[in-house]
Structure 1
Amino acid sequence: MQALDRLKSLITEVTELVEAMTEEAFTRKPSIEKWSKQEILGHLCDSALNNHRRFVRFLLSDKPIHIQGYTQDDWVRLQGYQDQYQPGEVLTLWRELNRMIVRVMQQAGEADYRKKGILDDGTEVTLEWLFDDYIEHMIHHKKQLEA
């Protein structure tokens, strides 16, 4: 599947991007209300955690699953990505969580990608849509890391 290959590429691209940054550029907060690049990558760890669980639930269920949202700012704050982690730790966590997602999604067959889920607002989506959305979300934040 194309999205799976894209995720594999993104793991390499983001790793290289972050490893090329200075620690100051990675950890500097543009303002109190804005995330540092380290926190952006931490947010992507939270996204990976939440989406891994969703992907597994899709694969294990024959009925539509409820796809619950999460409070992203609260997760980043509670995890303490800015103050409780070294830059390399956040990168390693992000990379390994996404490698775990690759392994799970390699188990998905065509029929699995058509399985249904229901968002908090009642919108019905498929596993394919959710996985594509996960990739697009990562690409959006990769652009922020590049800036």
Structure 2
Amino acid sequence: MKNKGGIEMSVVQKLEHLILTIPSCLEENAEEEALQKTNQESWSKQEILGHLCDSATNNHMRFVKIKLASDPVRIEKYQQNQWVALHGYSTNYTYREMIMLWTLLNRQLLYVLKNGSAEDLAKPVILDDEITITLGWLIEDYVNHLLHHMKQIIVKSLTE
């Protein structure tokens, strides 16, 4: 993503930009629209937003552990479908609450990232398939995952 001056944004700047711009884009969806499913097996827009809250929660813990560790940290996948079902995002929350929750969780995650160093980004992380990556790669993957799912919820471009 490029900023208005055409200069490549860092992943942390990109996340900060998304936190500032996404909530107003999400608010363009009506609550009824956010709860609609295309079929029984798919998530509604509100459940996708809930999944992104779960992703923020899981990644916040991962990022904190990695930044504080002196040895490589091993991370595991989480059961995303079960997390969404367990939280009952379409029945226990309003769409407005989901937008606020997503915003606050990502802001918390952003502050952890802003309080890091270049050395933190190079810290090794071991995935459950034994592949070693870096914290920097994991952060980039988090933002790309976020954008992928936001494109399922929001019609207009997120790069404006």
TM-score range for the pair, normalised by the shorter chain length? over 0.9
Alignment of 1:1-147 (within 5 A): 2-147=10-155
TM-score when normalising by structure 2: 0.89
Root mean square deviation, CA, Å: 1.0
Q: Which runs of 5+ in 1 are unaligned?
A: none
Equivalenced residues, count: 147
Bigger helix share: 1
Distance 2:32 2:94 in 1: 12
Q: CA deviation at 1:13?
A: 2.6
TM-score when normalising by structure 1: 0.97
Identity %: 44
Task: Tell me if structure 2 keeps the 8 A contact 1:39–1:76.
Answer: yes
Task: Tell me if structure 2 keeps the 8 A contact 1:18–1:26.
Answer: no
Partner of 2:158: none
Distance 2:86 2:21 in 1: 27
Q: Which 4+ residue blocks in structure 1 deviate beyond 2 angstroms? A: none
Q: CA deviation at 1:18?
A: 1.0
Q: CA deviation at 1:86?
A: 0.8
- Name the SS of the counterpart of 2:125 in structure 1: strand
Task: Tell me if structure 2 keeps the 8 A contact 1:27–1:37.
Answer: yes
Q: CA deviation at 1:146?
A: 2.1
Q: CA deviation at 1:12?
A: 2.3
